[in-house]
Amino acid sequence: MDVTVYTFFSPNDNDILTIESTASAAYYLTKVSGKTIKVVSDKPFSPPTGMQVGAVPAVLHEVHIFGMSCQRCVNAITEALQELPLQAFQIRLKEERGLFACSKEFQVTTIVNIINNIGPKFTAVASNRTTGLLSEMKTSNYDVRGMTCQRCVAKIQDVVGKL
């Protein structure tokens, strides 16, 4: 989906809070620092306060991320993706997904590969809205008994991960 990444700056914390509350209709927002905020939207966005310092066209990608259980997981993924040329992104723990705004030339498979290579805990799949991969994924449930420690879990994850 084509979107625009709007960047706003304000030295006033109340202005940043106003931009955040106004951005509820947008797809998401990312605080770049305490005084800078990015808002991603497919519609023109103009909050009542703050100074717009940029507006860049982008493509919005959604990646489903399975295996996240806490904020440390979000931080690990964020750190791994920090150096990519993304205009903005947000990892949503409760929704098990990430939203990524990037140039039209950027391949979403790069994000998927990096997340999948962080470790066996995470499985990333691009949404069918961007690549159609999610529709190819199949899910099966198995009842596994006899595991007594984390090493048992790790061994099973290792073997299944190689399938």
Residue 67 C-beta-side C-alpha neighbours within 13 Å? 18
Taking the CA atoms of residue 32, residue 34, residue 35 and residue 40 in that order, the dihedral angle to the nearest 10 degrees is: 40
Give 67-114 pLDDT, tens digit per residue.
999 999 999 999 999 899 999 898 999 989 999 999 999 999 999 999
Quick check: 135 pLDDT over 50? no
Q: What pTM does this model have?
A: 0.71
> What are the residue ranges of helices labelled H in 33-149?
71-81, 108-116
Q: Give pLDDT tens digits for 114-130.
A: 999 998 888 999 886 54
Widest CA span in the chain: 59
